[in-house]
Structures are given as C-alpha cells and as structure tokens.
Amino acid sequence: MYIIGIGGGTGSGKTTVAKRIVELLGEENCSILPMDNYYRDMSHLPMEERKKQNYDHPDMIEHELLEEHLKKLLNGETIDVPTYSFSTYTREKETIKLSPKHFLIVEGIFALYYENLLKLYDLAIYVDAEGDIRFIRRLKRDIEERGRNVSSVMEQYLSTVKPMHDAYVEPTKKNADIIIPKGGFNEKAIQVIVRYMMEKMKR
C-alpha cells in the first residue's frame, strides 16, 4: 500500500484534490482517510468548555491513533475509523470499516505536521490557496455542514484559525514533496500526481 499525505490550510482545496485523485485512479484502487475523524473526544467537558477549546491546534488531533491505524493498514488489516460530531465536539459510537487498497490518502490541515505520520508517507502534498479564498470556503462549510452562524465563524477564524494556520500549518510546506498552487482546481498538477501514482502501481 502506498500512502499519500495531503495538507494545507482550511478551505485550501485538500478534499477537492483528494476526491479528484480517487476519481482518476478509481475507488477500487484508492481510499481517503480524513484527519478530521481523529479529533479528540471532548465528552468529558461541559458543553461551554468544549466550545472554548482551540480546535485549530495540532494537539487536538489524536495522531497516535491515526499512526496505529496506518500501520495496521500497511500490515493488511482492516481498521475501524472513528467518526466525529462537530456540533457536540464528541466522538460518536459509529465507526467506519476501512480496508487496505493500493493507495490511501490521509487528508487534513495537519497532515504534514506530525513526524510520526510523515515517516509513513510515500508522498507528501501541500495544497496552497490565498487566505481570503480559504476564509470564504471555511465560512460556507461551517454554516452549511457544522451548524455555525456567521459571527461565531468569524470570531473563531480571527482568534484561532488564522493564528494557528500561520504558526502550525503554513510551516508544513517545507515537509511537502509537491506544492499545488491555486487550491483544489489545479488540474495540471493533479494529473502529474496521478501519473506518478499510476507508475508506482505498475511497479
């Protein structure tokens, strides 16, 4: 199995790139493992305390569990991927079965941050996009998919999202083998990556 890490800022187009790669390689050959599923469970805290946590800090991802799951997949084992509720900030009871395929894409803002995960990647990709575009995409997503309102998204973006991006996400560019500019709609860059991966599969 061949593991690809796709990192980049919130709203940069990581998921778009990952889905396009799967589309071109075929679902029978490639799976996506979203790092968002590995947010730490906050059920031990009262709701008001949960809301105050900084979910844009790398400590909020249970990367130790993700590492364990990646090693199991590399060993040919099926894993139970956790699911996470962004409205309650808790890990849900349901899990998702994921079996090994030729390729696995690990996708998330901190995908290129943790040393223990970088060691397992065969290819590291950073998806880059301008800050204002990323903010608009984040605003749209949080309102439509996570039940937030405009003022809460703006407050969170200014207080934690942007500072954390500057401190922890942007610097992970240095860990990338490939940087995709113009966000998730850079078809030429995606085609180059897919051709590279198909060559790997042939070998």
43 CB-contact burial (10 Å; exposed 0-12 / middle 13-18 / buried 19+): exposed
SS3 139: helix
Task: Confirm whether 142 is domain-assigned.
Answer: yes
The number of domains in the chain is 1
Task: Confirm whether 202 is domain-assigned.
Answer: no
18-49 pLDDT, tens digit per residue, is 999 999 999 999 999 999 999 999 999 999 99
Q: Is the pLDDT of residue 131 over 80?
A: no
| Type of residue at 198 | M
Question: What CATH number has the domain bearing residue 104?
Answer: 3.40.50.300
pLDDT at 160: 84
Predicted TM-score (pTM) of this structure? 0.89
The token duo for 85 is 């509720």
Task: Confirm whether 203 is domain-assigned.
Answer: no
Q: Which domain holds residue 127?
A: 2-197
pLDDT at 147: 78
User: Which residues does 148 contact at the CB level (< 8 Å), separation at least 6?
Assistant: 142
According to the per-residue pLDDT averaged within each range, which of 112-116, 131-135, 185-189 is highest? Answer: 112-116
Pick from 32, 38, 40, 23: which is nearest to 98 by CA? 32
Distances in Å between the alpha carbon of 69 and those of 1, 17, 118, 168, 169? 13, 23, 14, 23, 23
